[in-house]
Chains A and B, each alone.
Chain A
Amino acid sequence: MKEARRMPLVGIRDIRTELRRFERRALLRNALSLGGLALLTGCDLSTKSGVDGALESILRFDDKVQAALFSGRLAESYPPRAVTRPFRFNAYYEEWQVRGIPQGWHLEVTGSVSDKAPWTIAALRVLPQVEQITRHICIEGWSQIGRWSGVPLREFLMRIGADLHASYVSFRCFDGYSTSIDMASALHPQTILALDFDGQPLAPEWGAPVRLRIPTKLGFKSAKNLQAIEVTRTYPGGYWENQGYDWFAGV
């Protein structure tokens, strides 16, 4: 990363592996409490077998149920007066760690696409734009209503000649975050590459210069500070998904 100047001495990237291991251990240790006791008999807690394995396979089943429940249905739109102010900042790090746009930034396009030329913000601004005032629902349970506008992802995927039969669209961000969504959700009319938030070009804390905004999924799928978009047939996972959040995360 070029702007190392802004980074703390020990960044989240340095301790991420430890952090993840710690969280996994916490998952297992706490599985021992109360209701967990009954399932645990005979389970080896040091491996992915047993309780964790069972929970993960049920989450995979939940993903299939969620994909089946997904329809073209639109998320509710709200009037401008319903917009939440002040809007809550959220990321896997604290707000003071927000990164500025790297010098020479381009949006990279990779995977099963016919045109892999990188995109500038000016080029994205030329594409058709749509606006939405929708509810952002966090996996933690809180929610807030915001106003975003930008390019429908569907439009963008067609421009780059993406293989629309590929299963996944994956997003990599320059703040170290990543996530992925299914193709059906990627083609939903309210799934947009947002360039503006509340009538202004995205500020760094809201995901500058371009972010995903997808109101049919939980908030952690709306990746900020995009660096690269990949269309793929291989399960790409994501920052939270790899730690145990359920992948489909539809609402």
Chain B
Amino acid sequence: MTLVQSMPRHRQPRPACAHPAAIRFMHWVWVYAIGCMVFSGWEIYNASPSLPFSFPSWTGLGGWLGGALAWHLSAMWLLVLDGMAYLLYGFLSGHFRRELAVPTPQAFFGDLRSALTFRLGHSIGHYNAVQRLLYLGVICGVVLQVITGLAIWKPVQLGRVVALFGGYPLARNIHLAMMFLIVAFVLVHLALVAIFPRTLVSMLVSRPAEPERRT
């Protein structure tokens, strides 16, 4: 594998550390909040599965339906507050503009090809086109998950929202499907962290951004 240093993509001054403290903090709050939401959500789903499967009971959070709902309807505030803080920070600080610009199809497929043939380097503090599309995807996914969640929490008061998702039973299944997409993202994310363990360190403590590398 030949890694060649290339010029920075943008002229804006980059933050000294790979991930600003605010991002690191919001990341770990999100991990806790989404963990509570997913595992209590599985327990809620198990109370009356709409599809022919249930989640293993030991994975559930809350112990019974009432406990799981208490967790779900509590952790939702943390998830929403953390998510809103992240979106505000992302837009106001220029983080989204600098790091999460929507990639061009050429850049995406180029990086995807490199990734699939194990030729894509990883420099901490920079996102390649595949990462950017995945991160943008999961951000939109979580926003959609919050909206479908509101729809099935308040199908009468938010009747127009639940109608948008094709009515209560369908909205409930969309909420389930979005959960699977978010969990799939987390699994891919964890696999990549396992391949590049130094990325975990950079999300825990301040680490200087590495120069951007290209294959």
Contact = CB atoms under 8 A, between A and B. Distances in A.
B215 interface: no
Q: Is chain B's interface secondary structure helix, strand, loop, or mixed overall?
A: helix
B35 A240 contact: no
Contacts of A30: 60-64, 67
A98 to B, nearest CB: 21
B44 A141 contact: yes
B154 A31 contact: no
Contacts of B53: none
Given A75-B156, A135-B155, 17 more contacts: A23-B63, A26-B67, A27-B67, A29-B63, A30-B63, A30-B64, A31-B63, A38-B32, A54-B74, A58-B74, A59-B74, A70-B157, A138-B48, A141-B44, A141-B172, A243-B66, A246-B69
B35 A141 contact: no
Contacts of A131: none
Interface residues of B, number: 37
Nearest to B36: A35
B32 A55 contact: no
Interface string A215-251: 1100000000000000000000000100111100011
B159 A34 contact: no
B77 A58 contact: yes
Contacts of B156: 73-76, 215-216, 250-251
Contact of B168 (A26, A137, A140, A244): A137
B61 A33 contact: yes
Interface of A: 23, 26-31, 33-36, 38, 54-56, 58-59, 62, 66, 69-71, 73-76, 135, 137-143, 215-216, 240, 243-246, 250-251
A73 B159 contact: yes
A168 to B, nearest CB: 20
B65 to A, nearest CB: 6
A250 B154 CA distance: 7
Nearest to A23: B64
Given A33-B58, A35-B39, A141-B50, A245 B66 contact: yes
